[in-house]
Chain A
Amino acid sequence: MTDKSTGNGKTEQVLLKVKDLKKHFPIRRGMLQREVGAVKAVDGVTFDVFQGETLGLVGESGCGKSTTGRAVLQLHAPTSGEVVFEGKDLTKLKGEELRKMRRRMQMIFQDPYASLNPRMTVGDIIGEPLEVHGLATGEAKVKKVRELLETVGLPPVFGNRFPHEFSGGQRQRIGIARALALNPAFIVCDEPISALDVSIQAQIVNLLEDLQKSLGLTYLFIAHDLSMVRHIADRVAVMYLGKTMELADKNELYNNPLHPYTQALLSAVPVPDPLVEEKRKRIVLQGDPPSPANPPKGCVFSTRCPLAIDVCYHDVPVWREVKPRHLVACHRVEDGGIVPSIV
């Protein structure tokens, strides 16, 4: 077993630095389409991704985790903030410079049914990035496609077929092959397994782990399945309503969550073992997350937080390192507050 999860004995190089990233989508009304507000999908996200690690990004639907992934890759132009990748701030790059950087970072999408063009053969889908970036054409391209198909565990002859001939798991493999075509250093995996059946999920996760080892990839793994993230990630960041709430090494985060939201989130995940479930205590949050178009003042979690006090409704908590490698944004951490759980 490697000890990469603890980060011991390894120099950590920052590959990607995200600083106070914001992405607001304007709400327009009226004949003149005047801007009357904004959906603050991502509203101040800060984290680093280390070379060779998997950073898990978790949160519930609408928390902005996918938007964060896309804003990092400049698929959405960020409203503000910095995205420093291999020393360059991507938000300041344009045109050819940005295009060159795109080779280094790729994406695997959630829906393997919607992310492959049904009119293209698998070979064309995987080979397209090679041609776009002028890396291989003709025979060389065909050869490279065959190699890529083998890498992801598909027979090389499948290059002549169309996406509809494949099952969900196989399609996701094709999506992975496409992401690998340009030899990227960094891949954003946006819920790559949530559309797949349970028995197929493990196949894809194992493949992603194998590829990381053999190709030295770095992943930003976006998911809502907290059990799977604990399995695959080295460190985990928790988002709520457009903000990062907590970030730590995975075992630290899962064993010793400091933010009341993380505590509630973890306690809500069922464990496939009746003996454990019998004894488990659960924190059941009241209500639903507020709308990102109109987030609460102060701490965004204050409206549902069982520990909220006056200050939480007025002041935004500072994102800070409360112990080594454990960051959190909460006013009540120093009080040692643990949310009272119910049986």
Chain B
Amino acid sequence: MDTTDTILEVKDLVTRFATPEGVIHAVNGVSFNLKEGETLGVVGESGCGKSVTMLTILRLIPQPPAKVMRGEALFGGRDLLKVSNDEIRHIRGAQIGMVFQDPMTSLNPVLTLGRQLTEPLVTHLNMSKTESRARAAELLKMVGIPKAETRLDDYPHQFSGGMRQRVMIAMALACTPQVLIADEPTTALDVTIQAQIVELVKRLRDEIGMSIIWITHDLGIVAGLAHRVMVMYAGFIVERAELKALYSKPLHPYTLGLLGSLPRIDSDESIRLTNIEGRPPDLSTAPVGCPFAPRCKFAYERCIKENPLLKAVEVGHEVACWWDVERGKPRYDG
């Protein structure tokens, strides 16, 4: 993590969904960058827009019902939201790899693994049949699947959940991408299998040197994996900081609440968990004030009227909040 070259830059992304019940404001002006070799953790609860953000960038979101209102996603000097369909297909397969949450449904059940693993190699790297098969076996070995050569002829149902997720990772890494986007890749897995996958990704990260965006709702996984973390709520980034700063000094009341509501496995004491009162945000109306205000114990008048922007309050630590939780008073005067 010595280089600070930005590999992916997303600016002011806005995605909405048109539904019979009205417009859903899923992503409301999200900007971030990903540096070379960096692992960026994206943390938030269901419906916070973390997945939609990534799907929008990769143009994997069906339009309609979704509509990308504005924004840019700069990757290698090109705007991913504007390049041709052929180009984005090539980038998705070869330069940006993806792993999704559910390893049970992301593989095609009627094709052998060999067929699914060699496809990107043939399409994007113009490999021959034998070359691609050898590489596919190598990939399976890399992610720790025994008897890789023979297992290429097996179908997805012949693998367990953890193994399927390994296969998904192998597939995402088939063309040695510069960026890996992992969307809750361990959520559907048991904790011992989750540990296997996290260790695997860490090892591959060091070997290949790729950048990773790791989307999760679990602040525990991120703590052992990411370099930087951004916390999302209701389609906004509400806090962003270096890993240790976020955990040692959370500045947004939502981040504070999330950390307080997590019990610790390494603590003898059983302290009462802090609640975040209320219910998840309603995305069907554009928020006027701060989207977290209805659940925030620090909220005051300004929070209901104006939505705070994400602003750096310390070097490398940004927060979108009117209240200074450390000093216990409004952060900005006036």
Contacts and interface: CB of A to CB of B under 8 A. Distances in A.
A and B bind: yes
Interface of A: 5, 60-61, 167, 169-170, 197-203, 205-206, 209, 224, 226-228, 230-232, 251, 254-255, 264-278, 280, 282, 284-285, 288, 342
Interface string B73-111: 000000000000000000000000000000000000000
Contact of B276 (A202, A251, A255, A266): A202
Nearest to B276: A199
Interface in B236-279: 243-244, 247-248, 257-268, 270, 272-277, 279
A198 B196 contact: no
A266 B45 CA distance: 24
Contacts of A169: 279
Give the interface size bracket for B toward A: 35 or more
B116 interface: no
Interface stretch (B12-20, B29-37, B186-194): B186-194
B61 interface: no
30 contacts: A167-B279, A167-B280, A198-B219, A198-B261, A198-B262, A199-B45, A199-B258, A199-B280, A200-B276, A200-B279, A201-B261, A202-B260, A202-B261, A202-B274, A224-B191, A226-B265, A227-B220, A227-B263, A231-B263, A264-B192, A265-B192, A269-B265, A270-B198, A270-B223, A271-B220, A271-B223, A271-B265, A272-B262, A274-B224, A288-B162
A236 to B, nearest CB: 11
A285 B276 contact: no
A287 to B, nearest CB: 9
B274 A284 contact: no
Contacts of A277: 223-224
A25 to B, nearest CB: 20
Majority secondary structure, A binding face = helix
Contacts of A5: 270
B195 A274 contact: no
B265 A254 contact: yes
A228 B191 contact: no
A60 B192 contact: yes
B114 to A, nearest CB: 21
Contact of A272 (B160, B264, B270): B264
Contact of A275 (B160, B162, B199, B244): B244
B46 interface: yes
Contact of A284 (B46, B199, B217, B279): B199
B29 to A, nearest CB: 23
A297 to B, nearest CB: 21
B219 A272 contact: yes
Contacts of B260: 202
Given A227-B265, A254-B265, A274 B223 contact: yes
B218 interface: yes
Contact of B191 (A206, A269, A280): A269
A98 to B, nearest CB: 34
A200 B258 CA distance: 10
A198 B45 contact: yes
B265 A285 contact: no
Nearest to B161: A288
Contacts of B194: 268
